[in-house]
A and B are shown apart, each in its own frame.
Chain A
Amino acid sequence: MAELMDYDEVLARFDPTLGLEVHVELNTATKMFCACDNSPGGEPNTKVCPVCLGLPGSLPVVNGRAVESAIRIGLALGCSIAPWSRFARKNYFYPDMTKDFQTSQYDEPICFDGHVDLLVDGQTYGIEIERVHMEEDAGKLTHAGASGRIQDADYSLVDYNRAGTPLMEIVTKPIGGLGAHTPDVGRAYLAHLRDLMVALGVSDARMEAGNLRCDVNISLAPKGATELGKRTETKNVNSLRAVEDALRYEIRRQGALLSAGGSVTQETRHWNEQGWTSPGRSKEQAEDYRYFPEPDLVPVAPSAAWIEELRATLPEPPAQRRARLQTQWGFTDLEMRDVVGTSGSLDLIDATVGAGASASSARKWWLGELARRANETDAELADLPITPAQVARVQALVDAGTLTDKLARSVFEGVLAGEGDPDAVVASRGLAVVSDDGALGEAVDAVIAAQPDVADKIRAGKVQAAGALIGAVMKAMRGQADAARVRELILERLA
């Protein structure tokens, strides 16, 4: 493991410059250049055709929907959309791409010169976007051998189902001046992109599934220097946390190297989940890929009218939406931070409010009982088998006095266990609060008869003694009674 320098010490002597390249897999029905099924997974090599297998004589045709998605992503990132853009071949030899080139874009990307403002801990940071370009994903390699590592593999196996999946590459300009906040801003940027892709509906944007992948470039220059230092590019950074950790690690590693009078090797590095980076292959020069215009595809020339049509389909920007909802819901900053910090909860609460629940009750259930159950099974909130409408229905039953909070939790348990919708669970589990005064009255009478001494105290004016009787009635009713109503009935009888 490499020598590391204290983080604050590095920042006292060096200015970091950050650059992020993010690849986003689109969730279109078909692949970028052929009509193969683009849904993830599947049995190996069952979603392939002559185009994505690179068979001689096959010809690609661009997926119009993918171009639409690329333009919408560009617009949402404040980019200019190129009135004229073309594809290029990026030549390399690797078995994950049968054609021996990746169809990509080079000098004429579809979107360029964007800008994103990020709010991190109350401070706004501007991120300049260099470009967004369209390309295709590669196949998946499995390395055969004892360790599964490429270094000691005897051979590799390839599944081309993913080859040709539409891939958008989003590249920032070098971002300097962030100092010690570099890792937080890097993380916030990636979180912003993830939320944006989901809001646009163009990608599932699940980092753990590889829908959103990040390459992290970082360099250090002595404070006040005008020239940027040598940078490293770290790959395999596949979670928000990893972006932050990888940046912090590289800053400390490069700081130690430079402080000891050494130099940073410009190279690709690999992030290991255990918390460190290791050298990969040394960075190839751009011209090594021998890019040239793709002769099999004609240029993309979006008209101004089409671009404006797509602009009109843009959702409310995530940051703006969060601010609007916070005001609408009357949440404190702290309450809102919990919502934003729990993946998927903002949309779920919004939908639950839309289905008629109050914002505070929607927040209470999603971040409380339901988050707890999601955690237990290591699931995302959105993956729980319960809908916002069902949560709103449970809350409506609580509001109507049919359920107590305790009974509501039991209803959630039933819905999550697949016992049907809330009303069905209430009926089948017999969970409703007993509001029938006849049944309640009988229970109250029985308890009074069983505890005459307590009853006498209450008759004598010691109202606080009623607690013991209320508890006994609730127990007799197995919790399915409204405690306030029980208290009323007891006091009526012992007045």
Chain B
Amino acid sequence: MALSTEEVARLAGLARITVSAEELATIAPQLDIVLDAVASVSEVANADVTPMTHALPLTNVFRDDVVRPGLTREQALAMAPAVEEDRFRVPRILGEEA
């Protein structure tokens, strides 16, 4: 599998990670090796191996629909870098039109 630097740049963009051209040149072949390693696992896995959906052998872990107190507004907003009108204040949202 050959991962192009363009593909890696796009993934970095989606993950909002700044990656320089030099870093791209290093990361792309490294990711290639990771992908190859994963691909070799699927070569061994025959039809008789059930895909593992979860690391734990558990299903149906449910909570009763009963309200429990969470954080107070003061606690919730205490962690916010900026607050206005009891709401979290966030920077202007760019590159989006709603």
Q: Do A and B bind each other?
A: yes
B55 to chain A, nearest CB (A): 7
Bound CA–CA A65/B66 (angstroms): 10
A298 and B54 contact, CB distance less than 8 A: yes
Contact-residue size bin, chain A (C-beta under 8 Å from the other chain): 35 or more
A159 within 8 A of B: yes
Bound CA–CA A269/B17 (angstroms): 29
A50 and B71 contact, CB distance less than 8 A: yes
Given contacts A48-B76, A298-B61, contact A29 B67 (CB under 8 A): yes
Q: Which residue of B lies closest to A297 (CB)?
A: B61
Task: Please list the 3 inter-chain residue pairs (A to B) with the smallest Cβ-Cβ separation, ordered nearest first.
Answer: A49-B70, A64-B62, A65-B65
| CB proximity to A under 8 Å, residues B43-94 | 53-56, 58-68, 70-73, 76-77, 79, 84-93
A265 within 8 A of B: no
- A residues near B (Cβ < 8 Å) are 28-30, 34-38, 43-50, 52-53, 55, 61-67, 84, 86, 91, 93-95, 108, 141-144, 150-151, 153-160, 270, 279-281, 288, 290, 293, 295, 297-302
Given contacts A150-B96, A280-B98, A288-B14, contact A158 B90 (CB under 8 A): yes
Bound CA–CA A94/B14 (angstroms): 12
Instruction: Out of A45, A66, A141, A298, name the residue touching B77 (CB < 8 Å).
Output: A45
Instruction: Out of B66, B76, B88, B97, name the residue touching A35 (CB < 8 Å).
Output: B66
Question: How many residue pairs, one in A and one in B, have C-beta atoms under 8 Å apart?
Answer: 142
B65 to chain A, nearest CB (A): 4
The B interface is mostly helix, strand or loop, or mixed, namely: loop
B10 to chain A, nearest CB (A): 9
A298 and B60 contact, CB distance less than 8 A: yes
Contacts of A52 in B (CB 8 A): 70
Instruction: Out of B11, B62, B76, B77, name the residue touching A62 (CB < 8 Å).
Output: B62
Count of chain B residues with Cβ under 8 Å from any Cβ of A? 39
* Selected A-B contacts with CB under 8 Å, 18 pairs: A36-B68, A43-B86, A45-B76, A52-B70, A62-B61, A84-B53, A84-B59, A94-B96, A95-B90, A156-B91, A156-B93, A159-B86, A159-B87, A281-B96, A281-B97, A290-B11, A295-B55, A298-B60
A35 and B70 contact, CB distance less than 8 A: yes
Contacts of B63 in A (CB 8 A): 30, 35, 61-64
Contacts of A34 in B (CB 8 A): 70
B59 and A156 contact, CB distance less than 8 A: no
